[in-house]
Each structure stands twice: as C-alpha cells, then as structure tokens.
Homo-oligomer: A and B are copies of this chain.
C-alpha cells in the first residue's frame, strides 16, 4: 500500500497542502489547476496528473474543491507524529529547529545532538539537546526513522554510520558531502550552492 506515489508527486502534494491551507482563509471553495500552477510555479498538467493519482477530478467550470483536496492529500501523505532528530546544533541547525517546530507540519524535531558539550548544555531551544554519544540509543529507544544532518562536512563520515546502524531510514542532508547509503535509505540533499548557481545561470544577461 505504501510507496506507490512517485517522488515528485509527493513533494508537490506537500506544496499543494501548504498553499491550500492558506488559501482556505480566502473563503474560496474552489480552485483551478492553472491557479495552483501559477502560485507554485508548476505546470498545470503535472498538477492534474498528481490529483488524478489521488483519484480527485475537478469540475470543468468550478475547478477543484479546496476541502476535498486537503482531505485527500492528508490521507495520502499524512505522517502523524513523525518525530525526527537533528544532528549538528550550529546556526543552521538551530534555525531549522525554530522553523520546523513552529510550522504546522506533522513532522517535528524531538531532540538535537552535537559533539560540542557547550552547545548541548545550553538549553536554548524547545527541544532537549544531547551529546552525540547518546545519538544511537535515542534513535533506537524512540524508534526514530528520519534525521536532519547539519554538521560540518568533515564530521559527516563519523555520524552517518551511527545513524544507519541505529535504524535511520531517511536523511535530510545539509552538508556538502554526498552520502553513500544502501538502496533502502532515502536521502535528500539541500544544496544551496546548486540553487544559486542555477539562478545565476538564468538571470545572466
């Protein structure tokens, strides 16, 4: 039953949901795929295809029901209480804790880890902080499946085996290292340099 939607569809469904949650407050009960497309800089054909995969069809004259979309998307990509750990409590790590745990997403950071005892002892955030030596036990104990990696690149190869050993199946990788992992592990790289080099390419005159 699981893993039946294509990767890009899942990403877009998550984007639709967050846009529609704001759109809801406009009291517009319907939305057209081309409006969704414009607001999200996507192609209408992709949106219609994604929604078809969920078994949702729009009304030719009115568009898609916003409530029906939210309900169906919720059923498809809900992740009730999906708790994650964050490794690396630098500026980036702390800003992500703030951002993610204050969002309305069902994904929440439950604990943060760092090699630096000083960072761990300063309870600066709304999550408990632990030494890296407790990482493996924490993941196992709470059956955590997803980790965010915000350590300096040179620490990546020390941390990765701990995560995999402890049972982590998905990693959001903010380091500039490419993670070499088994096939059953999902890795997404947040690669700000690639984003910027792409923009630079398109804005050049």
Contacts and interface: CB of A to CB of B under 8 A. Distances in A.
Q: How many copies does the complex hold?
A: 2
Given A201-B79, A204-B2, A205-B2, A172 B146 contact: no
Nearest to A172: B195
Interface in A166-205: 169-172, 176, 178, 180, 186-205
Nearest to A196: B107
Contacts of A146: 196, 199-200, 203
Contacts of A180: 38-39
A5 interface: yes
Contacts of A178: 19, 39-40
Interface stretch (A62-70, A92-100, A110-118): A92-100
A49 interface: no
A55 B195 CA distance: 23
Which of A38, A145, A148, A200 lies at the interface centre, i.e. has the most chain B CB atoms within 10 A of its CB?
A200
Residues of A in contact with B, size category: 35 or more
Interface string A88-132: 001110111011100101110000000000000000000000000
A82 B195 CA distance: 13
B99 A92 contact: yes
A84 interface: yes
A5 B198 CA distance: 10
